[in-house]
Amino acid sequence: MTKKPKILLIDDEEGLCRMLEAVLGDEGYAVRAYNRPVVAMSEFAAGRYDLVITDIRMPEMTGIEVLQRVKDKDPGIPVIIITAHATVEMSIQAMRRGAYDMVTKPFEPDELLFRVKNALRQTELSAENQDLREEIAGRFRFDNILGTSQKLRAVLDKVEKLAIRDTSILITGESGTGKELIAQAVHYNSPRKDKRFVAINCGALPESVLESELFGYKKGAFTGAAEDREGLLKAADGGTLFLDEVGNLPMNVQKTLLRFLQEQEFRRIGDTTSTKVDVRILSATNADLREGVKQGDFREDLYYRLNVVNIHLPPLRERKADIALLVDHFIRAQNEKFATHIKGLSAEALEAVTEFSWPGNIRQLRNVIEAAVAMEDGEYITLPVLAQFIEIDDAAPVERAEDNDYSSAMADFEIGYLKELLRKTEGNVEVAARRAGMNMATIYRKLKKYDLRKDDYL
């Protein structure tokens, strides 16, 4: 049986308090109502409630003071403030102190219920994210790998089994799917975790440089070789060498690498004696190495040596359940780095990032969120800001006329979006608000702002 959300309600007007208690109770919420905020606060404790609703003007204690005391004891709980005289200054003060929302009297019960549902959903998502982070950290112990989708879980289960076995692994997947993170997870959960993890991008270096980087060279082996140098294979002795974009290895380097995999020894460039090391090889590619073998660009014997076991990473478009968690992680990282205070994505922006195809996968998502955090002026990343960095598939696309400033562009977008929303819902503001993930009061406010009439769409 699902547990009823618990709501603390504080209002010194007994009639309004009883009415709200009845409205919320009819919706299945467990409500504890108080007419005296001092008594309510004396009995308040962290974890006892899922939501607090408080009037702002009360004789013994203001709603702002209630908000402060609630946040001191339970920082994560959402607080909705009811006021008859909302001002910009009051709203700013309340939001800065952590209020989730404000409701202006008079209001319809449906409007309050809509805001209550949104606030409780926010709490639920935060709790889910925390539980998922703890589950991932406890079960898999893999730093920086976030996600709960079935496909990612299957990958991590495979990694957990393979990490302890000293075998070669080929990690495949599109660019930006996190292949190096998986390689690191293998290394740091293996018996080699106390030794070095060394990575090299095989497609980023010229052939001559790549060979010397991998195997090292003797002094005088070629012009510019003024001293002996150990290569990355030697540097990774006892640990793991990760060959990213291994499909770009030149043929002569493939031959030398194959010999090392067969004999666990190699010769530095210009050296006459072999160097023996104990290194586990992990490799990754976004190309089809089997096709490379067919075309003669990649040695078949090396392919089978590297691909003892394959781990394939699904693209982000097949891991939609992980997107919200990744977004939350990237926003928190940017907030910590630049002392910003972005709380998350608006409902419509979250829907857009979830439905976007993300051809650049996790890397592209991270870059877009970093850019959006830098550009957003409000507490939540909005759809107009997001639309500057990805194409939004919407019936009312954002206009990007060069002569428009940011405010004009946002207004143009909102007008088009609202018109299309009202057309689809035949002027039903309640349905429109639900589809947009907004509260009804916000819809009404925007209709008034842009002089739009819902009756025109009935």
The CATH number of residue 83's host domain is 3.40.50.2300
Share of residues in the chain with pLDDT > 70 (%): 89
Contacts of 60 (CB under 8 A, 6+ apart): 12, 36, 37, 38
Cα–chain center distance at 288: 29
Average pLDDT over residues 181-197: 91
Q: Which residue has the higher pLDDT, 101 or 370?
A: 370
pLDDT > 70? residue 395: no
Domain's final residue, options 105, 134, 163: 134
* DSSP secondary structure, 76-126, as one string: TS-EEEEESS--HHHHHHHHHTT--EEEESS--HHHHHHHHHHHHHHHHHH
pLDDT at site 97: 80
Report the predicted TM-score, pTM, of the whole model to 2 decimal places: 0.56
Q: How many domains does the chain have?
A: 3
What pLDDT digit, counting tens, does each position of 410-434 carry?
Answer: 777 778 778 878 888 888 887 887 7
CA 17 → CA 31, 57, 372, distances in Å? Answer: 11, 14, 41
In a domain, 139, yes or no: no
Peptide bond into 106 cis (omega under 30): yes
Using the structure block, give the residue that is written with the tokens 């308090």.
Answer: 17
Exposure of 159 by Cβ count < 10 A (0-12 exposed, 13-18 middle, 19+ buried)?
A: buried
For residues 88 and 181, membership in a common domain is answered with no
pLDDT at site 1: 40
Contacts of 183 (CB under 8 A, 6+ apart): 169, 171, 197, 199, 240, 242, 282, 284
pLDDT at site 400: 39
For residues 166 and 298, membership in a common domain is answered with yes
Using the structure block, give the residue that is written with the tokens 């997947």.
Answer: 173
pLDDT > 60? residue 267: yes
For residues 275 and 356, membership in a common domain is answered with no
pLDDT > 60? residue 24: yes
Report the Cα–Cα distance between both ends of the chain, in Å, rounded.
Answer: 40
In a domain, 1, yes or no: no
In a domain, 223, yes or no: yes
pLDDT at site 147: 80
Using the structure block, give the residue that is written with the tokens 């449906």.
Answer: 110
Average pLDDT over residues 311-330: 91
CA 154 → CA 59, 134, 167, 385, 396, distances in Å? Answer: 58, 18, 19, 35, 38
Average pLDDT over residues 355-376: 93
Average pLDDT over residues 222-226: 75
pLDDT > 70? residue 131: no
Contact 413, 398 (CB under 8 A): yes
Helix (H, G, I), strand (E, B) or coil at 197: strand
pLDDT-based confidence at 398, cuts 50/70/90? very low
Average pLDDT over residues 161-175: 93
pLDDT at site 458: 66
Average pLDDT over residues 121-135: 61
Helix (H, G, I), strand (E, B) or coil at 142: coil
Give the domain CATH number at 186.
3.40.50.300
What pLDDT digit, counting tens, does each position of 287-312 carry?
Answer: 999 999 999 999 999 999 999 999 99
For residues 10 and 100, membership in a common domain is answered with yes
For residues 249 and 310, membership in a common domain is answered with yes
Distance CA 353, CA 349 (A): 6
For residues 413 and 370, membership in a common domain is answered with yes
Domain's final residue, options 278, 295, 314: 314
For residues 284 and 328, membership in a common domain is answered with no
CA 104 → CA 57, 109, 112, distances in Å? Answer: 12, 12, 10
For residues 94 and 177, membership in a common domain is answered with no
Closest by CA to 373, choosing from 316, 328, 320, is 328
pLDDT at site 54: 93
Task: Return the half-sphere exposure (C-beta side, CA atoms, 13 A cut-off) of residue 330.
Answer: 22
In a domain, 369, yes or no: yes
For residues 278 and 334, membership in a common domain is answered with no
For residues 394 and 339, membership in a common domain is answered with yes
Average pLDDT over residues 194-218: 87
**Structural domain span for residue 355:** 318-457
pLDDT at site 143: 53
pLDDT-based confidence at 138, cuts 50/70/90? very low
For residues 60 and 113, membership in a common domain is answered with yes
CA angle 330–340–388, rounded 5-degree value: 65
pLDDT at site 422: 83
Region of poorest pLDDT, from 104-108, 200-204, 279-283: 104-108
Contact 457, 428 (CB under 8 A): no
Domain's final residue, options 75, 104, 134: 134
For residues 345 and 260, membership in a common domain is answered with no
What pLDDT digit, counting tens, does each position of 330-355 carry?
Answer: 999 999 988 889 999 988 888 899 98
In a domain, 381, yes or no: yes
